[in-house]
Amino acid sequence: MTRSLLYFVKLAVLVVVAFWLAERPGALTLTWQGYRIETSVGVLLLAVYLAVLIGASFYYIWRQLRRAPFMATDSIQMGRKRRGYKALTQGMVAVAAGDADEARRMAKKAEVLLDEPPLTMLLQAQAAQLGGDEAAAKRYFEAMLARDETRFMGLRGLLMQALRDGDQALALDYLEQARQIRPDAHWVINGLLELQLQRGDLEGAQDSVTRARKARALPPAAASRRRAVLLVAQAQAARAASDNQRALKHLREAAKLTEDLLPGTLLEAEILLAEGKDRAAAKLAERAWYKTPHPRLAELYLRALGEGKGVAGLKAIVRLTETAPEHRESLLARARAALDARLWGEARRYLAAAQEIGPGEAICRLMAKLEDSEHGDVTAARNWLDKATQAPAEPAWICGTCGTSAPEWSATCAACKSFDAIAWRRPPRVPAPGPTEPGPTKPGPPAAPAEMPGATIEALPARNRRIEHG
């Protein structure tokens, strides 16, 4: 609306100016080459306007004729680019759909139509990988290393091939080259961190975690957790090298990052006991029990207080567990101490309370010990041992990724190389076999019991079991 109004205003101004010039008195005389021309000012201005308009028209036509060959060439090139990008898109779709033949065909077509090696070489490499031609894919990725704009992508492709081949040294070399190009790339930082963890490079992993946090490749909470786990692993290495002071330094730094890292607490208590700092070890166990009750904590606490088996030991355990008296592990710790003190009624009461919270192998074995110690009832003890073979297994150091059990905690699982996957948890339960279809069966020898990862129950005949007395 505003533009239309402005147009009419301009037109009105021109009309007014034209009428004003036409009404002006006077004439204009032009003498040239013996010719004499007389006219008014308005007619002269009109003639000049028409001359300019005709000149501009001829200039426009000449310019278009001159540009026609270039415009035709541009039109042809734009058509090639449109077809090339269409082939590139179809090739990417074929890769995503798993159609190796179509991906290769579209990659060749895009290479002919487009002069963009970064895109076409990447598609060709992916098509070769999809078709199982790893050698061709490697050639394409290596060719990408020769160009600055494709070097980063080529390194990533070669990295993935090295990881599939299990060549960690070569993969680490590719990651180091990629870090020199783009040090803040998330996949570079995380890839370096994973390889360093698998290779046991704790110092390098700490540096990678710091860079990952700065580059926001890891959330702050996850970065703090990883740093704490790495510090505990470094403390383990220092402890193995008899450098207790360095180990304690790492553990206290880890405690500032997270307060519920049980392996660090256990290791710190052991080092304090080794250093003769019994009181500090006892205080540490008391603080830790509220958040992470653990049978090893109870053992270390008794050592720190110098208490053995007896009523004094039971009193010490009651004092340790008073921050979480209803926890199953607290009840089991008290039951063990009561059995050692030969307080059968107290032991039975604690075991009954633990059984209500959750049955388990440890309760059955402690009940067997109680029946044998209190009444000398071997039959009842055998019954409890039989129940132990069917009861849920007690918590152990179990990898949450592969389910493998470990005798001690470690930062990386020895079986699957997962980082920070081992925790104090119950082993995964093996589901019972489903019902078989009815049909004639032939009698045969009984099948051997299946092994459960991390299981600590030995399926021995009752007559071969030995009841340990306290």
Sign of the Cα torsion 414, 416, 420, 424 reads negative
The verdict on residue 365 lying in a domain is: no
Residue 402 contacts by C-beta under 8 Å, 6 or more apart in sequence?
413, 415, 416, 418, 421, 453
Give me the residues paired with residue 117 across strands: none
The verdict on residue 266 lying in a domain is: no
The verdict on residue 62 lying in a domain is: yes
Q: Is 18 helix (H, G, I), strand (E, B) or coil?
A: helix
The verdict on residue 49 lying in a domain is: yes
The verdict on residue 342 lying in a domain is: no
**pLDDT for res 237:** 94
Domain that holds residue 50: 14-72
**Cα separation values, 266 from 22, 125, 281, 296, 329, Å:** 108, 51, 9, 7, 16
Tell me the HSE value of 292 on the side-chain side, using a 13 A CA sphere: 18
The verdict on residue 109 lying in a domain is: no
**pLDDT for res 297:** 95
**pLDDT for res 442:** 41
**pLDDT for res 460:** 32
The verdict on residue 51 lying in a domain is: yes
Task: Give burial (CB, 10 Å; 0-12/13-18/19+) of 228.
Answer: buried
The verdict on residue 33 lying in a domain is: yes
Structure tokens at 118: 């970064």
- DSSP letters spanning 145-203: TTSTTTHHHHHHHHHHHHHHHT-HHHHHHHHHHHHHH-TT-HHHHHHHHHHHHHTT-HH
**Cα separation values, 460 from 360, 381, 386, 463, Å:** 18, 14, 9, 8
**pLDDT for res 411:** 92
| Listed residue (297, 249, 309) closest to 273, CA to CA | 297
Residues in the chain predicted with pLDDT less than 50, given as ranges, are 432, 435-470
> What is the count of structural domains for the chain?
1
**pLDDT for res 436:** 45
| Listed residue (382, 401, 394) closest to 463, CA to CA | 382
Structure tokens at 313: 């030991």
The CB density around residue 248, as the number of other CB atoms within 10 Å, is: 19
**pLDDT for res 60:** 79
